[in-house]
A and B are shown apart, each in its own frame.
Chain A
C-alpha cells in the first residue's frame, strides 16, 4: 500500500499536469483583475492646480504631471484649476510643464472659481479650456514692487552704482515689460488662433467672467469637471477609461476668499498678500496675480491701492 502511494506521488511530481492545474487555479483567481485591467483602455489623470502659485505649488504640479507623462496607462490629463496666480517664475515653470504635457497627450482644463494671471499662464497650453459662468479668467500681466531709489553711501558701499537697486525705475520698467511680453507671447503662441482679443486688449490685463471669456477666446466653452474629463477621454480615443485624481502633498494657500471657498483641496488655508511680497519688500517681487488679490486687508485704502498699481482689479475681490 505504501509503495503504491509512493509511486503515485512520484508520478505526480514528475508530471507537468499538476503545475498546469495549479496555473489554471491561480489564473482564474487573477482573472477578474485582468478583466478589469484590459476592459479599460487607459486612464485620465486629473491634476488639481489649487491655491497661490509658489515654488511648492509648482513642484507639486510638476511632479504630478511628470508622473502622468511617465505612466503609460495615462492617456490624457485634466487640469482642475482654482487659482489667482502667484509668483512669476513659479507660474512660468508651471506653464512649461503643462506645455510639455500638452505636447505628449490631450490636456483639458476645467476652471473652478478662477484661473487668473499666473494660473491662466499655466493653462494656456490646454487643448480645450472649460469654465463656469462664475469663473474669472484673464488678468494677463505682471506687477511688481518698484525698487526705491537708493544711493551707495558711506554706510553701504557697493562696487557699482546699481548694486543696491538693480537699476533705476525706468530700467526696471523695461524688465517688467519683458516679463509681460513673455507672458503675452506665450498666450498668443498657445491660443492666438482662438483669441478674439488683440495683443493690446490682452495687455490691458482685464479679468473676464467665464461667459465673457468664451466670447473673447480666452476660454473655449462653458462646462464643469465632468465635461472636461469626458472631453479628455474623447481626445485620447478612450471609450472605457479610469479616472485617477492625483493629490498634491502640501497645503493649498489662497489669497482670494472666493478661490478658497471653491477649493476642494484637502488641506487649504487663507494667507495674506504678505506671503507673496513680504512685510517690507526689500527688492522687486514679480507677481502674476490680479492686484485686487494683494490689497492690504488691514486698512481702508484698498481700492486706491489697486488704482495705484495701475490695474483695473475691483476693490473688493480679495
Chain B
C-alpha cells in the first residue's frame, strides 16, 4: 500500500513541477511581439522641430551719396533720459566714424547751439517728452537740411531682478511730442510674429517695402519692436505677414517699422543695431542705411538763427523742408 501511495505522491510532485515549468516558460512563449516594437515619434522629427536659425554674418558698410560731405557731426541725444547703452549704438557709431564723422552727445543746455555744427540728430528711446522749445530747435534744424532720426520702443516691462523678481517697471518711449510735430508716431504695443521670427515670437522678421532706398536688404530682424506711422511718409520696412500687436491677438498685419518723412526718419526698435544683433539677417544693411541717412544731412544755419522758428502749424512748414539747400538723392 505504501508503495502505491508513494507512486501517487511522485505523480503529484511531477505534476507540480510541470505546472511551475509552464508558468515560468509561458510568458516567454506567449509574449506579444508587437509590444516590443519601438514607439514611432514623427512629431519629433528634428528637421521640423528645430527652427532654422537666421544667419548672423555681415558687416556695416555705409555707402552715402557722393554729394554728401566727407566729414561732419552727428549729435546723439542724452538729455531726455534716453535709454540706450554704448553697446546699443556702437555698430552705428563705428560706421559713422569710419565715414569720417564725429559723434557728440547732447546732455543739457541749449539744443539749438548743440545742433549748430551738426548734420544729424539722433534721438533714441527718451524717457522724457521734449519741451516745446527743444522741439522748435529740432524743427529749425531739420528745416534747414539737418537730419533727424528718432528711434522709439514699445512700452517695455523692466524686471530688475530675475524672471520672477520683485521689481517691475513699465518704460515708455516718450517721443509723442517730438514725433507728432513731424506727423509721426510710435505705437505702445510690441509686435510679435509666430511664423516669421528670429528664434522667438517677439523677435520679428521684417522686409523692405521697396520704397525709400533700403537696397540690399532681404530681411531684417527686430527685437521687441513697435509699429510706427507717418502721415504721407514713406514706409521703408514692414514686419512680415501675420504679425500681431500684443493685446490684439486676433488681428494681424504687416506693420511699418521704419518710416521716413522728408528729413525725419522714425524706427520702432533700437535693438536691431546693438552689438550682438546687428549682424543678424541683413540688419547690418539697415544700420548702414541709418548711417547714410544721417551722413547725407547737411544743415546750414539760416542767416539769422534768432528768428522765431516755425511752429509747425502751417502746412507749408510742418514737413521740415523749408530752406533746404541740399536735397539728398537717396530719399
Contact = CB atoms under 8 A, between A and B. Distances in A.
B156 to A, nearest CB: 10
Contacts of A96: 39, 41
Interface in A191-220: 199-200, 203-204
A14 B4 contact: yes
A273 B164 contact: yes
A262 B267 CA distance: 51
Contacts of B308: none
Interface string A270-306: 0001000100110000000000001110010100110
Interface string A155-189: 00000000000001011011011100110011011
B9 to A, nearest CB: 12
B162 A177 contact: no
Contacts of B90: none
Interface residues of B, number: 36
Nearest to B170: A304
A103 interface: yes
B242 interface: yes
B163 A170 contact: no
B5 A13 contact: yes
Given A295-B164, A305-B159, A185 B43 contact: yes
Interface in A297-317: 299, 301, 304-305, 307-310
Contact of A13 (B1, B49, B159, B202): B1
Nearest to B198: A170
B39 A174 contact: no
Interface residues of A, number: 45
A273 B165 CA distance: 13
Contacts of A200: 194-195, 242
Contacts of B195: 200
Contacts of A100: 39
B316 interface: no
Nearest to A100: B39
A182 B49 contact: yes
A192 to B, nearest CB: 10
Nearest to A16: B8
A173 B199 contact: yes
Dominant SS at the A interface?
A: helix
B154 to A, nearest CB: 13
B48 A299 contact: no
Contacts of B165: 305
Interface string B185-218: 0000000001100111111000000000000000
Interface string B244-266: 00000100000000000000000
Contacts of B41: 96, 99
A206 to B, nearest CB: 8
Interface in B163-191: 163-168
Contact of A309 (B163, B242, B249): B163
Contacts of B202: 310
A301 B167 contact: yes
B302 interface: no
19 contacts: A13-B4, A13-B5, A96-B41, A99-B39, A100-B39, A145-B162, A145-B164, A168-B276, A170-B277, A174-B199, A174-B200, A178-B50, A178-B51, A182-B49, A185-B49, A199-B194, A281-B163, A304-B157, A307-B157
Interface of A: 10, 13-14, 69, 96, 99-100, 103-104, 145-146, 168, 170-171, 173-174, 176-178, 181-182, 185-186, 188-190, 199-200, 203-204, 273, 277, 280-281, 294-296, 299, 301, 304-305, 307-310
